[in-house]
Structures are given as C-alpha cells and as structure tokens.
Structure 1
C-alpha cells in the first residue's frame, strides 16, 4: 500500500490540492487560523477575548481570593455570576487600555521609580547590598520584573482614563441636601394589614380546581434531573500518603533541625559598652579601646564589681542602669561578634574586649539554660509530616499527571485510578447540575458538575476528565444512574398543589377586601381601623413590609394625611394612612461632612460609569455570552 502511495504521490497531492483550496475559498483563511484557539466570548476594539483566556483569568482570580480567604465557600467563586463578573472586568480593562492608547497616555520613568522605591512589597526582594533579587521575585510572583513593570505601567495609564472623570466630579451642598433629605425621609403612618392567612378558611377548592391548577402550573412541580455519582478527589493530603519516607531520611532531618523541636539554648548576659561607632574617627575609636582595656584590667582584679562599673561607665542607655544586664539572649538576637563570644563563655566568665560596629564591649555571662532537644521517637510523627509536606507539591504534580491519564485511559471505571493512587471512591446520590446548599469539595464545583452532566458522561457513563476544583485539587467522576427532569405525578404533589392554590386564592380575597376597605375609608374614615402610629423610613422599617414603606414615602407630602394602598402579593394587602412627614434630625457636623463626601463619591462613580459606557460604544465592546439569570436569593435582596 505504501509503495503504491509513493509511486503515485503526485496524483494524490493533486487531488488533495483540489479538495483543500476550495475550502479556503468557501470558509476563508481566518476560519482555519481560528480553529483550536477557543470560542470567542467578547470583543473590544476589534480584538477577541476567547473562552480559554476567560477561564485562565477566572482561575487566577479564584486562586488569589482563596489565598486571601481560605474558608470562602467554593460555590460562590465557581458560580456563573462570578465567572461573568470576571469577564466584565476583562472587558473593562481592555476598554480603558484602548482609551489610554488612543489618548497616548504614558507613565514617566520618574513616577515608576518613586512608586517602586516606596513599595514595601518590592523591598523584600532586595538583598543586603541593595540589589534586586530577580530569581526570588520570579519564583514568588510567576512574572519577570519586566512583565511586572509593564503591568504596573498599563494599570497607571488606564487609571488616568478613569481619574479624568471621577477626579473632577463634585456635588454642590444643595444637590447633596436634596438627595440626602429624600433618602432619609421619614413618615408617620398607621397600617391596616389584610393577611391571606385570615382568609384561608373561606377558600374551598375541589379536585377539579386542583387538577386545573396543576395543569396550568406544571412547571412548579418539576423534579430537576438528578444523578447518582461516584467520584475521586486528588489533593495534597492524598499525595502525601504516597510519599515513601525512609527511617534514614527522618533521622537525617532530625539531626539537621534538632533545634526546631525543642527549646534553644538561652544565656543571660551583662555588658559594659564604650561607644565608638564604626564611622567614628580612628583616634576616637582608639581612645574608646583604651578605656575598655582599662575597665577590663580593673575587672580582672575585682570581678564582683562588674555591675558597679557598668552603672558608672557603660554607654548603653538601655542596660547601664541595670548594671549592664541584657536579660535573656538567644542566637540571632545580637550582632555576630557579640553573639559568638556570649555563646562561648562559661557561666561567671568575663570576656576580653569585643569589638563591634557599636564600639567596644566587655561581656559577663551570668546564667546558662541549655537547649532542650526531645528524643527522636517523641517527635517522629511531626518530622514525618514535615518531610511529607516538603515533598507534597512535587508528589502532587506527579500524581496529578497520573490521575489525568488514568481517568482518561480507563474511562469505564474509577477503580484503577483509585487503586493506583491509593484514593477512596466517594459516592453521592441525587446530585443536580448546580451545587446544593451546603455542598463542599467537588460537589460544590460548578465545573465538576458541568462535566458530570456533559452528554458523553451521561450517555456512555464514562469518567469525566480531571477537573480542577481548587488549589492543588483535582476531581473526576462518573454517573452511575441518571434520572432526567420530569413533571411529578399529580398524586405525589396533590398536597403541595392544594397549599399553593389556597394561598393564591386567599391572597386574592385579602387584596379584594383591602381594596374595598380603602375605597370605603376614603369616603368615610369614621369606620377605619388602623394599628398604632409608627414612624418609618428606608432605614427604619419598624418591621413593616417593604411595600408599605414604598407607598408611604411615595405619597405626596403636600397632601397629607392621605390613604394609600399597597399590594403585597403573597403577603396580602395593606391600607396605609400616611399622617405626616417627620423632619430628619440634623446630623452632627462631622457626619454631615462625611455624608456630603459620600454623595460626591457616588456622583463621581455615576459619571465614571456613564463615561465607561460611552467608551464601550466608541471601542465597540461587546460580550457575546448571555448574562446568567439573577438567582432568587439575589433578586430578593
């Protein structure tokens, strides 16, 4: 066969040519170039944002948030709303970058230099001689200094775009007063509430009514698709279990780090300092040395006079009054020449003159507390955990590669992967497409659940690919049993249908009664029955329904008292007697100033958003994926 191909390869090439060229004509070169680069999710100024870019940016943001708040609910970070917010930020950054480039906005080298010099985070990457440690910086940040500088330069340039609007926004006292007075507006009201519960006993429903309601509202009686699943999770802890640690390794670690497992050697010392900084003239240092030699000679003759001589002669203001006592000294707490001598002296021994950058010292060790190192057997478990932890990241990388390969190569079962890596297969029933309340781990990951409910996983009962569910966490699962979405039979939900229908009709009766009373009391208020007067506002609802607050504050203040109605939906109906407006107590001067500043900030934010929307239109920014529907919880806030 291959011989035939070689003999006739020119003919084959000709036919391939005829097949390929029309494809380019029909579909375009761009189509071929774009293949494999990912779905386009947004576009700004003619440049695309692809799904892989979006996914990578969201992973980076999630990792950063997890580092700052390790206990945050993973479901919040993995939600459709959170992912969409990441995309919106990406679009915003690119719009502002395009505007900065269009306006030729730049950042001077001097400003960058000042910023970097004042940045305490960057200072930690400088060595003792002031040089920038490039390698440490790259390991810590994952970026080169040049990439970091470019990022900061771009951020500052885009900030100039926004500050051009927000930095010039202002609000007059009259504007602030009008808005704040409306926001803090208070009304004294009386409320007559017509609750559906008070009308439920008057509602009679037949089986025919229930059947009709069930038919008209079948969407409310759906059982979502569910699956019983098996899954595996690989994380650092499971990777640590597979690390083989020999007894020799543990012994070696113990010998090298013995000081970590007990208490360090401590010494109590006193000293006499004759100050002579390293920068002092040579003659001054020589004079100080002679003074120290003289005091040492006196001490050699009368060692018991150390404290008296220190009080009279030591130039260390912190210890001279205490007879030179420095209290407890541990290694690493003093300059090296001083420390070296302290930890070689015996108890009660006086040193020779010791030279440091501060001057000349005479040292006396007054007490020694030896280091206490627990025996190996007592700290063996701690050592083993430390050694495993040190190797865990590297081991996890190897295990992750094996995990990814195994779940793919043996798609019909998770058992081979579990056996190979020492993992436990976990199970869960009635798993849905979205994380359940209180879900944790893999079952709280939207990406993992999406993979479980992918067509290939459902139809062929194959393992999912390895899904990243958190920092150093991978999961793979498979569907054991799948139940498609279905409308629950009437007999199963009859009681629920009855409850909902009665509630709906009771609310309608409450609304009708409330509207009738409102009309009657407007004609003759003598028979009106209200609760006690209360003063309400947007900030102080006095436990009144929000609908009551809304209609009370919307009532025309020039025509009070007035009667208004509030349809509260499932809560019934309210007739509200708005008695009068209650002026706000003027706030203290400092609070009033703070409120005016907050109002000006709000104006600035509104103007900035308006300008951003203008820029979006100018640079033809568009998001090409649908915005996720607002959750019921968020909508109710």
Structure 2
C-alpha cells in the first residue's frame, strides 16, 4: 500500500516549477495574507498589492527549499538581488494566473483535489496500512504550518485552478510535421565558414597620441575619470553566532540534553513487519466478527506449525491489497505510522516472533516482526562536542529575538556610538574603508556591507549628513546590521596628471578599435569585389557546435542568406575584441534522423512552442492587468 503511493508521485513540469508556479503549496497565495501589516508595496497586479513583507517571506521559503534540496550549498549564493527579483516575478505571475483562473471560472472538483493530495509525498506518508488517511497526523502536520485543513485544501484548489490556465496552453501546443521539420532543419543546419579577425591590439603599435589629444579626450569624457563616491564606516553585526558565544552551559544542562537525546533515539527505533489481514466490514454483527476471528485463529495455528510459510499464506489469504502481493511485507516504519493496537504489538515483539490475533478497526491481523533497527546512543563524553554545539544553537535561537530587540534599541538610543551595544551584547565593532554605493571595494569583506538595504541606509542623505547609526537592518534569517558613516568623500573628477596614464590607455584602445573596424570594412568590400582573401582554415559550425566561434559571429554566419554551393560574406562586431569578417562557403543539410528520433524532436519542439505561448500569455496578462513593479534594482535585499 505504501509502495503504491511512493511510486506514483507526480512532479510538476520544470517550466511551471521554475517560471510560473513556485512550490509554495503549503502556504499558498492566501497564506501570505497575514503578512500584509506593512504597506511597503513592491508591486501591483491590477488592484492586488504585493508587499515587501510578502516578498521577503516568499523568498525565504524559496531559499529554505533550495538549501534543503542541496545540502552544503552556500546560502548567500541563493540570496542575492537577482534571485530575489526572480521570486518577485513568480509572485506576480501567481497573482496574474489567479486572476485569469477566476475570470475563466476554472474550478477544482473534490475528486481532483483528492487525487492531488494522494500524490503529495508528505501526505502519502500519513497513510495507514489499509490506505486510509490518518486524519489526526494530517491535521497535526498542517497545524505545524499554521494552517487548518480547510485553509490548506483551499490553497491547493487555488493552485490547481492556476495550473489549469497554463496547462491549457502548454499541453495543447500543436505543430504540423511539415512546420516542425522545417524549423528543425533550420535549427540543426551546418555551415562551412572561414573568418578573418581584426583585433585592436594588432593596431596599437601604429597609434600615436599627443598631450593635446590626451587633454581633449580627458575634457570630453569626464565621466570616465571620476573618483567614485566613498564612505568609511564602522558597523555591528548581530547573528546567532554572536548570541551563541555568550551562552554558558552547565554540566547538568548537557547531561539532561544527553538523556533527552537517548530518549529521542529510542523513539526513532524502526521495525519491519509483515501481516495477514482478514477484514471485517464496518458495522458487521457479532456473529460475523466471531466467524472471521475463528478463521484467523485457524490460520494462526497453521503459522505456528509452519512459520516459514508466512509469506506464502499472506499472498494467498491476506485481504490487504497493498501488502498481500509482497508476502504481507510493510517495510520499515517507526512509531506513529500504524494504528495503536497494531503498533503496540509490533514494538513489543522480538525479531521473527509471530503475534496472537490482533483486532483493529480494519479486521483481524496476524503479525510477524522480521527486522529491527535501533539507533545506538553515543556515550556522554563522545557526544559532548555535538551536544554542546546543538544545545548552544537551540538556546541562541530562543534568545535571539530578545537580543535583536536590545540591539535595535541600543543602536537607536545611542546613535552616535556603537560602544554601548557592543559591550552589552558582546559584539565586535568592525570597520571598512572606501565603501561604494555598490558595495565594499574588498570583495572578501563581510557580506553585510554588500547588502543593498544596508548600503541604501548608509548612503541616505540623513546618514551622510548626521553620521549617526542606521536603523537595525535585517539582512537574512537571524542577522541584523547597523552601520555608521565616519567619513564621506563625494564623487569628484580626478586631476588630469593623476589619471594621465589611464587617459592614454583609453584613447589608444579607442583609436586602435576604430582602426580595426575600418580595416575590416575595407577588406570586406575588397574581398566581395574579388580580391584574394586571407582567411583562417575552414570550419563546420552549427548551433550545436560553434567550433570556438564567438556568439555574434556564429549568429551572423548562420543568418546570412547562403546556398549549398553559393558563398556569402558578412561581418560581426565583437565589441572590444574588434570585428570578424566571415565567408560562408556552403550550407550543409543535416542527415535525416530515424523516425523515432524525428518524433521525439517534434514533441520537444511542440513543448517549447507551448512554453513560449505560455510566456506570451503571461506577458499579455501583465499588460491587461497593468502590472507595476515598484521595487527598484538595488533595493531588493
């Protein structure tokens, strides 16, 4: 029964997971409603507002999910401005799809909801041996998420309704074989090309510039030679490590925690059992139940005489459709997974022992324990480092809220110094010089100063003018920062003599690039007119294999009109790397794929087409519902 649910779990399409519907089912759109106390609105979808609190909450949940799925990953890699704006885009798309589903009157039937819930692995794990849901554990799981069953199921219904909107596009995409084959031929087309690369460095030696040229370039491009605005700051960071460092643990605390760990290990014991179930219909009379019990007693007597036949008899006599085919095997399970009378017997039996007849609400069972897993507890001395670390972390979690309040009050009340806050909370005052609006010059410095909300507070007009402590800024889970400007250096044009070498380098590079581009234009005209070209060796390129050709050059080579035997000329500007002149010698058609591969390619193209239509539909919804993104880049963190 359990294997059936485990082996039939469906996963959402990757496109919907990553771009359209994030995995927030346990919280849902309605689950964010209790976070709307603040009115810091970061986006509007029609009349629906998305607040910064909702945004922060959604992003924390997304980062937590990714961290849980990729143990060991650096959390800071996931918690940056780009990823935060990706989360905001997903929230906007959710709201758009919710509006579209309501407008289209998309409904979710009770049967569809039940089917979706049975495919959720966290709910499938709550199944009893007969396949019915353990309602008490189900409600306990939801209470841990701050939800009732009604709230959760309403969120799932809403999610399914939103999914119907997109599924109608992605799953109905259709391309005729002729259109698909034409597109695939173009995509897999190969071309034989030869190139000549005109690089700026090849022209630098011939560039001569005078002091007058340098002075003129300096005066015409002052923005290139600005010394950026900078501040020197001192700052404080309050995090769990800082709170943990001040916690004193007694010997009695550690020993009590060790005993608690041993008790928890006992609860983690798992047992593997098999059973034979003879069912009794609900409401059956006493005579019917007695008859089934007699049948179970006869079967037990047979098993006592021939215990090696347990699996054989379970296959032929057990009425549990989920385990009979496996010889009655229920695999390993811990306490709480089975109904209490069944569980009590299983955890009282020795390995290989066979129980008496056990009555539960499902009928009469005969049970055999086939294996036992008991976690082995560590001795106190061996476990001490781990216990101390865990207990210190737990207490730090509990005390952080109080420490955070003290931190916020102290940096506000003593706004011209960090000394009182540092002394009261055992923190170290840190210093950073030359911090820009984009972050510290030293990339290896504490990431606290790379946080955009901290930088926004530091560079606020009030902070620059008064040089007082900023408010406590939350930059992540259990992490607060306050900073104070010590010295402010506005942006200013650097003296010509100080940057003369940089002026020369920029001007020489600019003129060398201009010379390379002019030479490329002249050569292209000459070669098109019939002059003998000087080109690199031929290479076969395609969208699958670029053979080292830069992206702009590959795009130019594949887009210029050419035939199987007709050469074509084109060029590609490579920016600071100069210009590449390209001759396409011939076009090579791809080999005809076998029918199976051709069918797979058409299906993949149809899926991509459906995804493109879905994205276009989302864009049309954004226009129709007048989406406004009010958060600015640089303010996301």
Give the match for residue 77 of structure 1: 79
Q: Mean alpha-carbon deviation: is it higher for 514-523 or for 70-79?
A: 70-79
Return the match for 1:530 from 529, 535, 557.
535
Please, which of 214, 217, 233 is the counterpart of residue 213 of structure 1?
217
Runs of at least 5 residues in structure 1 that lack an aligned partner in the other structure: 1-35, 296-309, 319-328, 344-349, 364-369, 630-637
Contact 1:239 1:399 survives alignment (8 Å): yes
For the 8 Å contact 1:74–1:444, the answer to whether it is kept is no
Does residue 451 in structure 1 map to residue 462 in structure 2? Answer: no
Tell whether the 8 Å contact from 1:565 to 1:575 is kept in structure 2 after alignment. Answer: yes
Residue among 262, 280, 283 paired with 2:294? 283
**Counterparts of 1:327-346 in structure 2 under 5 Å?**
336-337=344-345, 340=348, 342=350
Q: Secondary structure of 2:309's partner?
A: coil
Tell me how far apart the structure 2 counterparts of residues 560 and 241 of structure 1 sit (CA, whole Å): 75
Deviation per residue, 1:231-279 (Å, 9 max, x gap): 22222222223334333322333344447799x9999xxx9x9989797
- Contact 2:269 2:375 (C-alpha < 8 Å) held by counterparts: yes
Give 1:315's aligned residue. Answer: 309
The CA distance in 1 between the partners of 2:244 and 2:396, in whole Å, is 5
What SS is found at the alignment partner of 2:396? Answer: helix
User: How far apart are the structure 2 equivalents of 1:596 and 1:402?
Assistant: 63
1:157-168 → structure 2 map (5 Å cutoff): 157-168=161-172
Q: Would you say the 8 A contact 1:75–1:435 is kept in 2? A: no
In the superposition, relative to structure 1, how do residues 458 and 594 fare at CA in structure 2: closer, same or farther (>3 Å)? farther
Sort the Cα spacing of 1:433 and 1:379 in 2 relative to 1 into closer, same or farther, 3 A. Answer: same
Residue 226 of structure 1 contacts residue 482 of structure 1 at CA under 8 Å; is this kept in 2? yes
Q: Which residue of 2 aligns with 1:505?
A: 511
For residues 219 and 138 of structure 1, do their structure 2 counterparts lie closer, same or farther at Cα, with a shift above 3 Å needed?
same
* Contact 2:300–2:356, Cα closer than 8 Å, also in 1: no
Equivalenced residue count is 552
Question: Which residue in 2 is equivalent to 1:547?
Answer: 552
Deviation at 1:213, TM superposition (A): 1.4
Deviation at 1:225, TM superposition (A): 1.9
Aligned to 1:179: 183
- TM-fit CA distance, 1:411: 1.4
Separation in structure 2 between the aligned mates of residue 514 and residue 75 of structure 1, nearest angstrom: 42
CA 260–549 in structure 1, closer or farther in 2 if over 3 Å, else same: same
Tell me if the contact between 1:63 and 1:471 (Cα under 8 Å) persists in the aligned partners.
no
SS at match of 1:580: strand
Bigger Rg, which one: 1
Cα offset, 1:486, TM superposition: 2.4
Aligned residue number for residue 390 of structure 1: 394
* CA separation of 1:54 and 1:589: change in aligned 2, threshold 3 A: farther
Give the one of 505, 515, 521 matched to 2:521: 515
Q: Which residue of 1 aligns with 2:244?
A: 240
Name the CA distance, whole Å, in 2 between partners of 1:408 and 1:274. Answer: 66
Q: 1:608 and 1:109 mapped to 2: Cα distance?
A: 27
Counterparts of 1:67 and 1:199, CA distance in 2:
53
Which 10-residue stretch deviates more, 241-250 or 411-420? 241-250
2:566 touches 2:586 (CA, 8 Å); kept in 1? yes
Cα deviation 1:305-338 (Å, max 9, x = unaligned) = xxxxx9x7643459xxxxxxxxxx9998996546
Q: Given the superposition, is the C-alpha separation of residues 352 and 192 from structure 1 closer, same or farther in structure 2, using an over 3 Å criterion? A: closer
Q: For 1:549 and 1:89, locate their aligned partners in 2 and report how far apart those are by CA, in whole Å.
A: 33
Cα 1:67–1:229 shift into 2, 3 Å: farther
Unaligned runs of 5+ in 2: 1-36, 281-290, 313-331, 359-363
Give distance in 1, aligned partners of 2:269 and 2:610: 61
Give the drift of 1:584.
1.7
CA shift for structure 1 position 284 = 4.2
Cα displacement (A) at 1:398: 1.6
| TM-score computed with the length of structure 1 as normaliser | 0.74
- Alignment deviations for residues 348-367 of structure 1 (CA, whole Å, 9 cap, x no partner): xx999977676498x9xxxx
Q: 2:49 aligns to what?
A: 49
> How far apart are residue 579 of structure 1 and its match?
0.9
Measured after TM superposition, the shift of residue 372 of structure 1 is 8.0
In structure 2, the partner of 1:419 is: 423
Give the one of 412, 432, 438 matched to 2:436.
432
Q: What's the secondary structure of 2:135's corresponding residue?
A: coil
Q: Give yes or no for contact 1:232–1:477 (8 Å, CA) kept in 2.
A: yes
Q: Does 1:101 align with 2:102?
A: yes
Contact 2:297 2:357 in 1 (8 A): no
Aligned pair in 2 of structure 1 residues 290, 442: CA closer, same or farther (>3 Å)? same
Q: Deviations over 1:398-433 (max 9, x none)?
A: 212222222222211222112112222222222222
Q: CA RMSD in A?
A: 4.3
| Closer, same or farther: CA 100–383 of 1 in aligned 2, 3 Å | closer
How many Å separate the matches in 1 of 2:167 and 2:157? 15
Please report how far the alpha carbon of residue 188 of structure 1 lies from its aligned counterpart in structure 2 after TM superposition: 0.9
Q: Which moved more, 1:219-228 or 1:558-567?
A: 558-567
Offset of 1:617 from its aligned partner? 3.8
Contact 2:345 2:355 (8 Å CA) reproduced: no
1:207, CA displacement in angstroms? Answer: 1.3
In 2, distance between residues paired with 1:274 and 1:472? 49
- Mapped partners of 1:175, 1:203: distance in 2: 53
1:201: how far off? Answer: 0.8
2:579 corresponds to 1:581: no
Match of 2:608 among 569, 588, 602: 602
**2:146 is matched with which residue?**
142
**1:77-109 alpha-carbon deviations (Å, 9 max, x no partner):** 331x44444444333333332333233332223
Q: Quick one: distance in 2 between partners of 1:107 and 1:330?
A: 34
Aligned counterparts of 2:346 and 2:124: Cα–Cα separation in 1: 28
d(CA) in 2 for partners of 1:125, 1:598? 37
CA-to-aligned-CA distance 1:550-604 (integer Å, 9 cap, x gap): 3322322148213333343422233322211111233444443333223222322
Question: How many Å separate the matches in 1 of 2:353 and 2:541?
Answer: 80
**Correspondence list, 1:401-416, <5 A:** 401-416=405-420
DSSP-derived class of the 2:115 partner: helix
SS in 1 for 2:232: strand
Contact 1:275–1:315 (CA under 8 A) maintained in structure 2: no
Measured at CA, do residues 378 and 102 of structure 1 come closer, stay the same or move farther in structure 2, by a change above 3 Å? closer
Q: Is the 8 A contact 2:126 2:134 kept in 1?
A: no
